[in-house]
Amino acid sequence: MPIETIRNGLKLERGFENLPDILRFEASSIHMEREKPYAVVTVVLNSRVLAYDDMCLSKNEERVRLANSAYRMMEGNTVLSDQYSKEMFKHELDLFCRDVWPEFVGEKTGVMLAGDSDPSSMPYLLDPFVVEGGGTLLFGAPGTGKSWLLMLMAVAIDAGLAWPWRTKETRVLFTNIERSAESVARRLGMVNRALNLPANRPLLMLNARGKSLKDVEAAAERTIASHGVRVHMLDSISRAGVGDLTSDKSANQVTDILNSLCATWLALAHSPRPQSKEFGGNAAHVFGSVHFDAGADVVVKLLSQQAGLTLGVSLAVDKVNDGMRGFKQTFALSFDKDTGLSGLRFASSGEFTELGMASATMTTEERIEIELESEGQLSATQLAERLNTDRTYITKILTSNNLFIGGRQGQSVLYGLRKNTPAVVMESTPSEGPNPFVEMYEKAREQDDNDTRPAPILPF
């Protein structure tokens, strides 16, 4: 009777000769505590739960208590109890409990794993901050916009948006243990509008203000299984409920919970306060044990700068296991004093001097996108001057990428983002019939495709 893996743990099933009955032992919430294995062990006959207990698997007295309780419930089935003695029942429960932990951690056998002969680029669900099958920590000081960014990312992945990040459409669960459901619903409406989605677009949420991650672990597990969730977002690990976050054991336990709930996750964390003597006021790291950084596949540092009703937010990849550190993006979040978040765009060069744009870490295409998002329309010459880049190279990018669209205004050709096409339509564009500027754009792209000259090699 081999032990099988199920969504939330392990199970063992056994049948009986000449009987239709199926007895099942299940173990869930498997973990190590005080160097002893623990689990919730459930005994099920057909579809009926006979007994269950949250128990130490290695303690015989706890197994005896569970066996006695379950077997009493089974004794009403005299045909089965005549064939299956109480002693045999206890023996099989002992064997199951003995094998749960080794099976759970994979200690029984090793397997030969072949290397990938054709490795591709990193499989991002939200490029470059959320890796498929990996965990991300987004950290920063309180009040810097972390929760807004987390929800923006959650909706972007859930909707499969191509802006402001390239994403892969994937079902998301957003676990909120910080705010009221009403507050989060208001925020979701604002975030949807900022991403050009219907304000009432839903997002799967688990709202449990006042609870801890440990408290809602089982509920999150059931939600993830029943809704086919592939990405779990958490606000935040500061309410993990496992003890002192500066403890290595607590940090590992939080990471283990997140990894066991969903292979891909993104959780908010905090940086220490500037006056923290324990950490030297170092806001460059996640508050708590170093094992938070070690346990995450990607660590993203968030800094912000307030400018009136606009909040500049910088996201920088501080650590990544299988990629390159240093990538940075800076956004401008616009707020209305009455209605909250009203808009999202890339910040323009020099807009938030305290944050530093670090444009050298971006591709030229991304830098062009930022400038056009900020200004609406610019010529290739203007972009070349702003980016200190060869104009021919800029033109080549503008005419060969579907992200950009151009149209003539007077003697100049101005370019904008295709997703903002209404803002790029020029003065003389007819209201009906084919758009001559789109035709011109397509022709320019065709001419450029025939240009075999190599693009210049630039120093960034």
Q: What is the mean pLDDT of residues 358-374?
A: 68
pLDDT for residue 84 is more than 50:
yes
Percent of the residues in the chain that have a pLDDT greater than 70, as a whole number: 83
Q: What is the pLDDT of residue 422?
A: 46
Same domain (yes/no): 353, 213: yes
Number of domains in the chain: 3
274 pLDDT higher than 90: no
Closest CA to 197 of 228, 235, 152: 152
Query: In whole angstroms, what is the distance from residue 113 CA to residue 123 CA?
Result: 20
Containing structural domain, residue 444: 364-449
Average pLDDT of every residue of the chain: 83
375 and 344 part of one domain: no
Q: Are 160 and 291 within one domain?
A: yes
Are residue 308 and residue 434 in the same domain, yes or no? no
Q: What is the DSSP track for 291-352?
A: HHHHH-SEEEEEEEEEETTEEEEEEEEEEESSS-TT-EEEEEEEEETTTEEEEEEEPPTTSS
The answer as to whether 442 is a domain residue is yes
Residue 437's pLDDT band, with cuts at 50, 70 and 90, is very low
Q: If we measure between CA atoms, which residue out of 193, 186, 147 comes closest to residue 342?
A: 193
Residues 6+ apart with CB under 8 A from 75: 81
Across residues 123-127, what is the average pLDDT?
91
Please report whether residue 144 resides in a domain.
yes
Q: Are residues 215 and 345 in the same domain?
A: yes
pLDDT at 451: 44
Which of 361, 390, 425 marks a domain boundary? 361
The domain that holds 375 is classified in CATH as 1.10.10.10
**Phi/psi of residue 404, each to 5°?**
-110, 150
Q: Are residues 247 and 164 in the same domain?
A: yes
Q: 95 with 202, same domain?
A: no
- Which tokens sit at 6? 């199920």
Q: What angle do CA 201, 332, 133 make, to 5 degrees?
A: 60
CATH number of the structural domain spanning residue 141: 3.40.50.300
pLDDT of residue 167: 95
Write the DSSP string, 379-424. Answer: EHHHHHHHHT--HHHHHHHHHH-TTEEEEEETTEEEEEEGGGHHHH
Whether 264 is covered by a domain: the verdict is: yes
Considering the domain boundaries, does residue 109 fall inside one?
Answer: no
- Residue 450: its pLDDT value, please? 47
Indicate if 316 and 178 belong to the same structural domain: yes
Domain contains 224: yes
- Residue 455, domain member (yes or no): no
CA distance 336 to 176: 24
Please, are residues 138 and 304 in contact by the beta-carbon 8 Å criterion? no
